[in-house]
Each structure stands twice: as C-alpha cells, then as structure tokens.
Amino acid sequence: MKSAEKISSDGNNQEPDVEKMVCGIMNGNRQMLARAITLVESQNPKHEKKAHEILDRCLEKKTSSIRIGITGSPGVGKSTFIEALGLEIINSGHRLAVLAIDPSSMQSKGSILGDKARMEKLATKKEAYIRPSASSGYLGGTSPKTHETILLCEAAGYDVIIVETVGVGQSEILVDSMTDFTLLLMLPGSGDELQGIKRGIMEIADAIAVTKTDGEQSVLAAISKAECDAALRMLPSKYPFWKREVFLTSAITATGIREVWQNINEFFAVMQKKELLRKKREQQLKNLFSAIVEDMLKKKFYLDQEVGSSLPITEQLVVTGKISPFSGASSLINIFRHPDTLR
Amino acid sequence: MKSAEKISSDGNNQEPDVEKMVCGIMNGNRQMLARAITLVESQNPKHEKKAHEILDRCLEKKTSSIRIGITGSPGVGKSTFIEALGLEIINSGHRLAVLAIDPSSMQSKGSILGDKARMEKLATKKEAYIRPSASSGYLGGTSPKTHETILLCEAAGYDVIIVETVGVGQSEILVDSMTDFTLLLMLPGSGDELQGIKRGIMEIADAIAVTKTDGEQSVLAAISKAECDAALRMLPSKYPFWKREVFLTSAITATGIREVWQNINEFFAVMQKKELLRKKREQQLKNLFSAIVEDMLKKKFYLDQEVGSSLPITEQLVVTGKISPFSGASSLINIFRHPDTLR
C-alpha cells in the first residue's frame, strides 16, 4: 500500500508506530520483529526511545524460551551444526530464533551475509528466524542489546533461542549471563582442549559437542571425547546436579544432533523441577538491568550539553600534559553532576 | 630493614608512600614497579587514589617507548616467539617489558604461573620485565588499566613494551588502541586465514609472523605465507606508506626473528619521519582519557550513597515487573545527578 507510506522529516520511509509494531511482533510478523531489532541496535537516541517503549510492552507479556548459547572457534562448523540442530528443534514442534553475534571485524562490520548464506535450509523454514548481528563492538562491555533482542524474539513467539558467538573470551561469558545453557563446539583433535583459552570457555559450558566426527575423523574424535571428558572432570561443576556430557556429532551424517537436543531438554526439565529456571531468569533480568543502567549513564553523560562543551577543552589540556587525566575526568564528572556550579 | 616496616591499620605491611614509589620506579626498581602495577590493578578505591598519584607523576616525565601488540590463537606459540624476539630486542641494547593479558578464564583467573614459566630465559634477564596480568575481565570494556601499566613501565625506563593478548576479537582491538605496532602470529596451515575471526585481526595487523616453520612444517609454511600475502592484499591498508609483510619464523632455529625486529624498527623510523608517532601518542592519550572518564563515572555512580540505597529497591521493582528496566535506570541516574530531589 504505497499511499499509506509517509516520508518522515529525515527523508526515510516513516516507521510504523509503537502500537503497530508491538502488535505485529506479538502476532509473529517477521518484518515487524526485524524492524524492532534494528531499532534496538540503533545508536540514534530517537530510535532508542522507541525501542524502549516496544521492549516495555514486550516485557509486560512475560514470555519465555529455552535460551541456548552456542560457541566455538572459527572453523569448528558452527553454522552447519546450528542448522542441523535447528531443524531438529523445529521438527520437534518449536519455533526457533538464531541470533548470530560476530565480534570479529570492527572495520568491515563482520561477515553478515556469509552467516545468513551458510544456514540456507534453516533460513527457508517459517518456524525459524535467523538474525545475524553486526555487533559493531558492543559485545565487549555491558551493552544490553543482545539481551533485548532475545526479549523481542520471545515476544514474537520463538520458544527456543540460540545465540551463536564467534571467538573466545569476553563475548561467551557475556552471552552466558543471558542464556540458560551453553554448548561448546570443538573440532576433533584440535589438541588445545586444556589450553588456557579453551579452559575459560569450558568453565561455562553445560555440554560439549565434538563436530565433524564423520569419515576419517572418527578415531581422532574418540580421543577428543576422552580428552574433553578428562578436562571436564578437572573443572569445578557449574551445577552439582548436572553432569556435563561430551557428544560426538556430525551435521553431514546427522549423528549426535538429536542426543544434544535431548540433553538440552533434560537440563531444562531438571532446572524447572528444581525451580532454578525462575531464579536464573531473575538473575538474568538483574544483569540486563545493570547493563541498561551503565549504558544509559554513559549516554546521558556524553549527551549532556555542559559535558559536551567542556570535553574538547579538557581533552586538550590532558593531551598537552597541562592537567592529569584523572583530574580532567573528575572535573567532567563534577560538571555532569552539578551543571550549575561550573568549575 | 625490619624496623622501618610499619603495620597498617588493616594488618598488612605498610606500602611505601607515593614519593618513595615514584622514585623507585624511575630508578628502575622492579619491586616498586611491581607494587605500583598491583595498585593500578586493584579495585580498592584507596589503592586507586594512590595509583593515580603515582601515574600523574609518571606522566609528567613524558617517557615513551616502542609499543608492540602481539596476538594469535592459543597454541600458536606466543610465549616461545616472544621469548625469542625479546632476547633479540635485549641484545640490540633495549630494555623490554612484556605484559601478558589473559582474558580466557574468568573463574580460575587465568594461567598466570603458566605464562611466567614459559618465558624462562627471558625472565632471568635483568633488562627484561615480565608481568602476566590476571585481567579479571576488565579488558572487555574500556578499562584503562593495561594502558596505565604501559605508562608505569615506560617511566621505569623500559623502552620497548610488548603487550601479549590471547584470544581473538575485543582484546586485540583494545590493545591496538594503546600500542603502535600489531604483530599477528599464525600457525602454518591453520587454514583459517580468510575466516571471519582472523580477518578481523588481520585488519589491525601491521605484520604477520608464521610460527613453527621448522622441520616438516616448511612446505605448509610457504603455502601459509602465500595465503596470508593474498589476504593482506584484499584488506584495506592501515597506512598508505606501510606495506604489511609476512615472515616465516621459528623460535627453535631462530629463523626470521631478527627480520621481524628489523621490520618493527623500520615501521617506527617511518612513523617518526612522518611525525605520525607524536599524533599516535596523542590519540592514545585521548583514548586513555576517555577510558578513565567512563571508568570513573561508573565507579562514582556505584559508590554514591543515594544510588547505593536506592539500587536494591529499584532492582527488585524491575525484576518483579513493577517498573520497566528503562524507567528504573532513568530514576537511578536522576538520583545520582540530583541527590537533593529524591523521587
């Protein structure tokens, strides 16, 4: 309906209003969901305000889902594995959203198209929604955007959410704070099971899937499983009631995929039985809240007029060594807190 | 001198005062440097105040150094490479500080001892100072601690600083904002040269060293070099005047190590000639300043008494769905800014 489209003051097509978007999201309209996620990801304060209004409405609905974090080194076959697991999840009657986070490239803004293209089969399913995210560096700190995207997907009726992270370290730990179950993917014979970086991720893993175990890799895979089992035994357990398992999988021969999904379901059954899922959700909401607080604090600081006019001068004084960075920072924060009593 | 040691109120041996520590650092006293870095890394507000005073004094001295960031996946042989390069650097008349950042393990606090043990030869040299850092998660955001540690090492007379990062993504990019030259280490035949995660790091690399190219790996290494060369050609150049090179190295046979160090020296010569180093230092100081501002803002917020007493109530209202996280955050920030006009 071309006639209904209005041109807004900045020349773009006008966005539907909050009411319409919330309605659309709750009715499972993928386009509305995609637009809302774009608003959430936007750095524009106007978009942000609208995103908050939409999120408030979605939070009221109190929908929930099975939230799974999937991580592993590059080349481990994350997309292929997620596609196979995703099809299994859909076939068991669920609606699935896959959020891919790519913190790899700050300059080229990540391999967005690449990600989408790699999950071709899953992408055509009406029960699946795949959203690659251009991260633009926000995963490093405490930004709540990924968590907010999860909430939007839940409101849209997706009852299983997979958050895929590339890389090692920071992002996994952050995603772990908003998901319920962390699955670590490993290559057979990668030989770095016990090395520092892997150990850090192993600590947050609730299960490990060794990938690409078909064909010639089968012997190597068995060794990897033994090594992973041994490594897990050495690490403190996340939950005393949950034994972390190692699965040998292959997306090509569809080996082990169903077993992984069963394992995830068992985990949720136990968590629910022990009333731990509700507690986890509360803790996740607390995490989200503190991320929102810190994000908003920073934004209000930089958007403050007095701060904005003092910042370049203070910065210059610091760079030329006239004042120390600490007293410069202190003075800017005083200006933010007491705009009437300028130095 | 036992009689000079006083016991402070909290029962620990009293630290030397700012004057004594600054003096010690500038005279190259390693113990004083280590103590100052510990103060910088501390989360205790008292330690922080003292650390700032020491840093202010060190900044006044305006010392500088060749700052090198070295990164690569786990298993690439970073420690072995850095030891070989470090000995080369020392033999050419420099004093070297190696700061190792390990963001891998949040729970077990990283493999600190492991790192130190791995650079045995370098650790015994009086011209070298090795400081593994327990990161404790601060590298994810904008925390200035690594940069401040660089400044302390410079004040202590180390004229080459190597910052080693493990992992991929966030930490490298952050370290790139405080170092001058980024060296990426790669294994022969790792086959993921063009994969997302590597590409992100390649974008910030000023040179690539293929490691472990001795013995049977030599053919694979030559292929890797060709692949890296090709990949670099595809990526936008960081500096139009600098051609990024790929080196075949082996720490065991000492192959290519001298060439890498020559390459780094050439880079600095060009940068200095073009007066870009001064500009880079200014930009780095700006980055440090904004990291300090954001860090201090967050700390003052959480240490604020009014915020502290309102936070648990607000959090509870958010978690129970009584108010939205956004209005909760907004109200806390208002309390921070206008403590007299409590809601």
Q: Which long-range contacts does A144-147 make (Cβ < 8 Å, 24+ apart)? A: A144/A288, A144/A291, A144/A292, A144/A295, A145/A40, A145/A41, A146/A99, A146/A101, A146/A174, A146/A175, A146/A178, A147/A178, A147/A284, A147/A287, A147/A288, A147/A291
Cα–Cα distance for residue pair A60/A38, rounded to 1 Å? 21
Is residue A332 within 8 A of residue A184, CB to CB? The reply is: no
pLDDT digits (tens, 9 = 90+) for A261-285: 999 999 999 999 998 998 998 999 9
Whether A211 and chain B come into contact, CB under 8 Å, resolves to no
Whether B312 and chain A come into contact, CB under 8 Å, resolves to no
The CATH number fitting domain B1-61, selected from 3.10.450.50, 1.20.5.170, 1.25.40.850, 3.20.190.10: 1.20.5.170
Chain A: closest CA distance from residue B207 (Å): 17
For β-strands A160-166 and A96-101, DSSP reports them as parallel
Terminal Cα distance for chain B, rounded: 57
Chain A: closest CA distance from residue B2 (Å): 35
* Residues 106-165 in A contacting B (C-alpha not used; CB under 8 Å): 106-108, 110-111, 114, 137, 139-142
The CATH 1.20.5.170 portion of chain B extends over 1-61
Among positive and negative, which fits the CA dihedral B108, B212, B67, B178?
negative
When CB atoms are compared, the residue of B195, B236, B318 closest to A74 is B195
Which runs of consecutive H residues, i.e. helices, occur in chain B?
A: 18-26, 30-41, 45-61, 78-91, 112-118, 120-123, 145-155, 170-176, 196-202, 218-234, 257-273, 276-303, 305-319, 325-337
Among positive and negative, which fits the CA dihedral B85, B86, B92, B94?
positive
Cα–Cα distance for residue pair A3/A261, rounded to 1 Å? 47
Output the CA–CA distances (angstroms, integers) from residue B154 to A193, B8, B26, B158, in the order listed. Answer: 37, 30, 9, 5
When CB atoms are compared, the residue of A171, A297, A321 closest to B297 is A297
Whether A62 and chain B come into contact, CB under 8 Å, resolves to yes
Whether A296 and chain B come into contact, CB under 8 Å, resolves to yes
3-state secondary structure of B12: coil
Residues 6+ apart with CB under 8 A from A281: A64
* Cβ contact A285–B325 (<8 Å): yes
Count of pairs with CB atoms under 8 A, one residue in A, one in B: 221
Q: Which residue of B has its CA nearest to A294?
A: B298
Whether B333 and chain A come into contact, CB under 8 Å, resolves to yes
Is residue A60 within 8 A of residue A155, CB to CB? The reply is: no
- Cα angle value B43/B44/B46 (rounded, 5°): 140
Q: Which helix (H) or strand (E) holds A209?
A: strand A207-210
Structure tokens at B94: 């420099």
pLDDT at A257: 97
Cα–Cα distance for residue pair A85/A241, rounded to 1 Å? 25
Whether A322 and chain B come into contact, CB under 8 Å, resolves to no
Is residue A318 within 8 A of residue A332, CB to CB? The reply is: no
Residues 6+ apart with CB under 8 A from A22: A54, A57, A58, A155
The CATH 3.40.50.300 portion of chain B extends over 66-273
Is residue B197 within 8 A of residue A104, CB to CB? The reply is: yes
pLDDT tens for chain A, 343 residues long, are: 343 444 344 445 577 999 999 999 999 999 999 999 989 888 788 898 899 999 999 988 888 899 999 988 777 888 899 999 999 999 999 999 999 875 544 433 444 344 445 688 998 999 999 987 655 444 444 468 888 999 999 999 999 999 988 655 566 777 788 899 999 998 887 654 445 445 667 788 999 999 999 887 788 888 888 888 888 888 887 898 999 999 999 998 999 999 999 999 999 999 999 989 989 989 999 988 998 999 899 999 999 999 999 999 999 999 988 888 999 999 999 999 986 655 4
Chain B: closest CA distance from residue A92 (Å): 31
When CB atoms are compared, the residue of B104, B301, B325 closest to A196 is B104
Among positive and negative, which fits the CA dihedral B256, B257, B260, B262?
negative
Q: Looking at beta carbons, which residues of chain A come within 8 Å of B174? A: 140
Chain B: closest CA distance from residue A5 (Å): 30
Among positive and negative, which fits the CA dihedral B297, B298, B300, B306?
positive
Averages of pLDDT over each 10 residues, chain B, 343 residues: 40 76 94 92 86 90 89 83 96 94 47 56 93 55 76 95 75 80 85 52 87 85 86 83 94 94 97 90 90 91 94 94 90 86 50
Whether B292 and chain A come into contact, CB under 8 Å, resolves to yes
CATH architecture label of B66-273: 3-Layer(aba) Sandwich (3.40)
Q: Which long-range contacts does B134-138 make (Cβ < 8 Å, 24+ apart)? A: B134/B41, B134/B102, B134/B109, B134/B110, B135/B101, B135/B102, B135/B103, B135/B110, B136/B41, B136/B106, B136/B109, B137/A170, B137/A173, B137/B103, B137/B106
Whether A199 and chain B come into contact, CB under 8 Å, resolves to yes
Task: Indicate the residue type of A187.
Answer: L
Task: Indicate the residue type of B229.
Answer: D
Q: Which residue of A has its CA nearest to B174?
A: A140
Structure tokens at B181: 């030259």
Residues 6+ apart with CB under 8 A from B69: B162, B163, B165, B172, B175, B176, B179, B181, B182, B183
Structure tokens at B292: 């300090």
Whether B167 and chain A come into contact, CB under 8 Å, resolves to yes
- Residue B110's nearest CA partner among A335, A95, A200 is A200
Q: Looking at beta carbons, which residues of chain B come within 8 Å of A75? A: 191-192, 195
Structure tokens at B37: 């870095």
The ipTM is 0.76
Residues 6+ apart with CB under 8 A from A167: A73, A74, A103, A104, B167, B168, B169, B170, B197
Whether A200 and chain B come into contact, CB under 8 Å, resolves to yes
Task: Identify the residue among A52, A326, A337, A341 best suited for mutation to test binding to B, counting B beta carbons within 10 A and taking the highest.
Answer: A326
Is residue B225 within 8 A of residue B210, CB to CB? The reply is: yes
Q: Which helix (H) or strand (E) holds A49?
A: helix A45-61
Output the CA–CA distances (angstroms, integers) from residue B176 to B58, B68, B151, B173, in the order listed. Answer: 22, 9, 15, 5
Output the CA–CA distances (angstroms, integers) from residue B185 to B81, B137, B200, B241, in the order listed. Answer: 9, 23, 14, 22
Output the CA–CA distances (angstroms, integers) from residue A258 to A60, A254, A266, B125, in the order listed. Answer: 34, 8, 12, 56
- DSSP for A72-131, written as a single string: E-TTS-HHHHHHHHHHHHHHTT--EEEEEE--S-SSS---HHHHHHHTHHHHT-TTEEEE
Structure tokens at B163: 């910052």
Structure tokens at B248: 């075949």
Task: Indicate the residue type of A180.
Answer: D
pLDDT digits (tens, 9 = 90+) for A180-233: 999 999 888 765 444 544 566 778 899 999 999 988 778 888 888 888 888 888
